[in-house]
Amino acid sequence: MGTRWRGLSDRRLGMPAYLAIIAIAGVLGFAVTRVGAVTPVKPTYSGLLAEVLTDAPDPVLGEAANDYPLTHALVLMAATVKGDHSTASVMIERIRSSQTERGWGLPWEFDAFGDGSVNPPATAYALVTAIVLDALVEAGATNEADRDVARYWSSRLASYSDQTSDAVWVPSSAAMIAAAVSQFGFDEEARVIFDRLRESRFRWAYSERQAVANDLQNYVYILWAGEIARSHGVNVPWTREAAVESLGRYGEVYPTDIPLTPDMENRSDSPLEVSGSGIALAYQARYGVTGMWRERTLAAIESARMVPRYAAHAMLGLALWEEQRRPASTGVGRPGRLARSGAG
């Protein structure tokens, strides 16, 4: 597959708990390895759209894996960028059909931290809700119910879900929901979260219960959230330049300057590599920074089986990259924050 970006090996982890907390973030890291045959996919927005919208068995969730609001939100973001109004309309309908008064989450039971506290179906999760709100803002499709969701989360930004048992600090989740509510005027509440993120800057552990490095996808979520919050007046305790430089530590999935377990190494050439490199490409394209993330995304797509919720991250990255290079005179789509006024 050409040049690869591998790290070191043999790190000891608390496997069951780490597996559980990774899962809801759309990562499912320890369960996602090299699975199934790789079918050639055209590495473009249109080429991946068919993959993302086609039912496909998930390596962990099984069938109906793309009945997931986070996937719908990422597709909505990409469709908005591309000016694909028909796809955007369908995604908005799907998002609305799964909305609760507290936001969005999963349609099945889930034990988020592997501690025996099983969350019921329709539990709202901060990260899923954040990405959906962000997509609706970009599409100019928010409503008063979305503002109520933002208001609800503005007082519990450090919680992983709306369940009391999930009042756990997870930097990627907290950063994303803080950035999301800042778009609805809750910037003071968001500042508290970003002040807390100042500690361990660029070396955030996955959670207060798991002292392990973030995979690339969750790491970029924090950087992505920082730019959204910054654009809404929140004091973010790092510069964009420093954030971009920090991405250089990452290999295919994890930082190259930490030891990795064999299981972590096996996430190379997996759907997790597709989502991580894809969201890094989206960050690069959206904010006009330089990097090798398109090349890495293409390499990941070539080597890994496509799974909708992972491939959707790469589709967003490619959509932004394609539109960044489209002549401004075409008037079709454009990268960046597309519809700030949608949050009202």
What is the predicted pLDDT for the residue at 62?
55
* 93: number of Cβ within 10 Å: 10
Judged against a pLDDT cut of 80, whether residue 308 lies above it is answered with: yes
Structural domains of the chain ordered from first start: 15-325 (1.50.10)
The first and second tokens of residue 147, run together, are 């503002």
What is the predicted pLDDT for the residue at 14?
31
Percent of the chain with pLDDT over 70: 80
* 204: number of Cβ within 10 Å: 19
What is the predicted pLDDT for the residue at 108?
80
Average pLDDT, the chain: 84
What is the predicted pLDDT for the residue at 66?
56
What is the predicted pLDDT for the residue at 57?
61
What confidence tier does 210 reach under pLDDT thresholds 50, 70, 90?
A: confident
Beta bridge partners of 328: none
CA atoms of 300 and 293, how far apart (whole Å): 10
- pTM for the model stands at 0.85
Q: Quick: pLDDT tens for 56-81.
A: 666 555 555 557 899 999 999 999 99
What confidence tier does 26 reach under pLDDT thresholds 50, 70, 90?
A: very low
Beta bridge partners of 62: 58
What is the predicted pLDDT for the residue at 19?
36
> Between residues 8 and 121, which one has the greater pLDDT?
121
First to last CA, the chain: 47
What confidence tier does 148 reach under pLDDT thresholds 50, 70, 90?
A: very high
